[in-house]
Structure 1
Amino acid sequence: MLEPKHHAFLTELKRRGQPELDGLTQCFQLLSLASAIDQDCAHRLAPSGLSEGRFVLLFLLQGAGDALSPHQLAERAGVTRATVTGLLDGLERDALLERHVDPADKRRVHVRLTAAGEALALDLFDRHTQWIRTLFADLSEQERTLLSGMLCRIWARTDAGRAE
């Protein structure tokens, strides 16, 4: 289940006569799994003309119940305002959302889904959620809890985890 680059790294360790360090294989397995999930996600969204970023904005807008500003979307999606602008441009071109200037303050823009964007967001969110559930369907509740705890412990040792 290792990606070729990770397999090559482990092979090089052996060639150099170094023992496999504890956790290296598991780290590479986790990275390979994350990459496979990302690739599957992209493959599942592509027929709708969406990237993961565009999909995130659709479900954020659909779940908001009201218009959001580009700044709010960037903050909630965890991306830059420049990234959001590009994503919004594409979604607007595809008639999935509309931007409206605030009549009280012409500098403010509000983003709302169109009917087509609303329908697509609802459908894809449900299908995407069900697909993710299938990935973990063979794990018992106890196994999922154990896995979650282990992942949290590993996360805490990363720079990002320590920064929290």
Structure 2
Amino acid sequence: MKPALHRSLIFWSGILVMGFISWAWRDSLNTRTNPMWGSCMIESGAGALSFTYRPSGRRPGWECFRNEFSKPSSALFPPPHFIRGGIDHADLKTRQLYLMKYDVKELRELNAMNMIYRTDRDWLVCIPYWMILTGFTIPWLGLLLWRAKRRKRAAGLPGVGGSVLES
């Protein structure tokens, strides 16, 4: 029995969502997009999606910024990270970069440098697009396998549209 994927809502919605995630990932390698509302900011850039909570930098209403990189990001698979604000929470490497005013190249170092200027209550979570895509694809494939098994079982039952003799 054929899985008839062209009729599956699960299949087409998964293709649509994965296409959107892939487009956002590709776009984030060349541009940085920052929608903000109040003390929350979402940033898409350098192959990752970052969520920043800044109660110290509260602004009224919505704002959105979009900047192109002068040099596109080279890191396709950056690691995920969580950073708290303030110099007290910075690691040794970030403190040294901060004191030397060194130009940072990696996404984690750039985020750490930006969070040094924030207060202790501020934090940032960075999730790379490869991880978002993987986190969506695995359950989607599981749903497709479940659907195929369910259709195969339904085709094997008499009176449901299939015969018992089909294999």
Same fold (TM over 0.5): no
After TM superposition, the score normalised by the length of structure 2 is 0.28
Structure-1-length-normalised TM-score = 0.28
More helix by share: 1
- Structure showing the higher strand proportion among its residues: 2
